[in-house]
Chains A and B, each alone.
Chain A
Amino acid sequence: MTVDAAGGGSESGTPVGRRVVLGMLGLGALGVVAGKGIQGGIDTALAPLQRLDPTGLGSLIPGDYFRIYTVTSGYPYESDANYRLTVDGMVDKPLTLQLSDLQAMPPTSMVRTFQCVTGWQVPNVHWTGVKLSDLLAEASVAKGATALRFESFDGLYTESLTLDQAARPDIIVAYSMLGGPVSREHGGPVRLYVAPMYGYKSIKWLSRISVVDRVEPGYWEDNGYAVDGWIGHSNGYGS
């Protein structure tokens, strides 16, 4: 004598569980395809509420804001006064610049969407800094150089650009973002901002720019990300 494993006739009925699962899969797929627009609408709707939010708990609500990345333990710190940026390698005139030196150079400002390769984005981010090409001109790049290697004072993170890429006017050594000095968690006092590429190219806590004769893949690039991280059309692959 046996009974049905599901408990015989007493447990027969409508397969609601399966419908719920399939419905969630459908909603999930819809969310992937349409989520960008939906999140934009939610941000617009919540913006006035979050401005009034005295608790800060509003930041727990998912939305289009910065996810703070650090590859070492915690955030490295350097004071504005002690900060130094070195430009060296294949240059005729190596530079060691203080924050005030950078701020004394002709500024470039732009407002752009910050785009992470994994998908999150922050619209309308305001940036100010010095064109990377201006710094390189000041240091006078030597013949035979083709690329740049960037180092962070976190001691671990590195990045790369070709000299051709570095000539673009929308790549800056930034000391201001979001309407104020670059904060510690965003990579202050000084970080790179590579507007046409994914966020991982915009190295934080920038301390050294070396002019070199070949591209050395940076931190995330060693872990599989594209060396040429053009937003959109490279789809993450080099293009």
Chain B
Amino acid sequence: MATVPKSSEVTPAGGTSGARIERFDAVERAVHWTTAFLFAVLILTGAALYLQPVAAIVGRRYLVEQIHVYCGIALPLPVLAALSGSWGRGIRADLKRFNRWTGADRAWLRATAQSRPVRLKKREAVALGKFNAGQKLNAAWTAGGGLVMLGTGLIMRFYQPWPLSWRTGATFVHDWLAAAIVAVAVGHIGMALRHPEALDSMRSGLVSRQWAAANAPRWLEDVAPSEPVQPTS
């Protein structure tokens, strides 16, 4: 069980806000961006395999198919590589956070159905950990969706052992889930663009103390309870 000394997650940085806090370590950021790159290649090659106007321009079906298949098989590798060693402490801890839902998460999610002022008010009232329920759902969706896409893709690529109706079913699942995953990915990018500091934390790894206090107060309490920053142990 990975345990983290509190102060090791506190990274002093300049700025009027005082210390900035590490939200994603270098391994997590590397996983995110290599996965994002593979995902982008999968979407583009998938479009060239699937959408007739794109296929008409790109053609070269065998080459495109090979790229799509190998990027698909590679998709889980960054996560697995990160989880496989001592360098994966940060991502392991975040996976636990994604998995566990508290009453605060449920209250946050229930507020989604409310009108905007009510929603904001209700969400302000709950003290969240590092991730909100939307982010937790997105993480589970990405993991589950990625695995289902991988499985159905493998059935289509290595088709010999499977009954024909399963291959037709795998095509059905792969088609519809791809459409849903692209829609969610567009939403994910949209959210990132609307929340520049959160987006920047996937680049620099850091967020301000104010951001953490507003968005992840209980996480802030855990990792950096008070200023000034404690010296590293």
Contacts and interface: CB of A to CB of B under 8 A. Distances in A.
A198 B57 CA distance: 25
Contact of A223 (B62, B145, B167, B219): B62
A15 B102 CA distance: 9
A12 B168 contact: no
Contacts of B162: 235
B110 interface: no
B218 A10 contact: yes
Majority DSSP secondary structure for residues of B touching A: helix
A167 B35 CA distance: 51
Contact of A36 (B97, B152, B165): B165
A6 to B, nearest CB: 4
Contacts of B172: 31-32, 35-36, 38-39, 62
B60 A117 contact: no
Contact of A7 (B59, B129, B144): B129
Given A3-B4, A8-B222, A74-B59, A20 B97 contact: no
Interface string A110-124: 000001011111000
A60 B171 CA distance: 15
A1 interface: yes
A20 B6 CA distance: 30
A10 B1 contact: no
B60 A18 contact: no
Contacts of B60: 70-73
Interface stretch (B48-56, B73-81, B118-126): B48-56
B137 A1 contact: no
B59 A119 contact: no
A67 B137 CA distance: 32
Nearest to B159: A236
A31 B169 contact: yes
Interface residues of B, number: 72
Given A2-B3, A5-B2, A35 B92 contact: no
Given A35-B168, A62-B172, A62-B179, A235 B99 contact: no
Contacts of A101: none
B41 interface: no
Contacts of B214: none
A75 interface: yes
A55 interface: no
16 contacts: A4-B1, A4-B3, A5-B1, A5-B92, A10-B219, A11-B97, A13-B101, A17-B98, A18-B99, A25-B148, A35-B173, A36-B168, A36-B172, A67-B55, A68-B55, A73-B59
The 7 residue pairs across chains A and B that have the minimum distance between CB atoms: A24-B144, A35-B169, A119-B167, A35-B172, A62-B175, A28-B148, A6-B96
Interface of A: 1-8, 10-18, 20-25, 27-29, 31-36, 38-39, 59-62, 67-75, 115, 117-121, 185, 219, 223, 231-232, 235-237
Given A3-B222, A24-B145, A74-B56, 14 more contacts: A2-B3, A4-B3, A5-B3, A7-B129, A7-B218, A16-B101, A22-B144, A24-B147, A29-B151, A36-B168, A60-B51, A71-B61, A73-B59, A185-B52
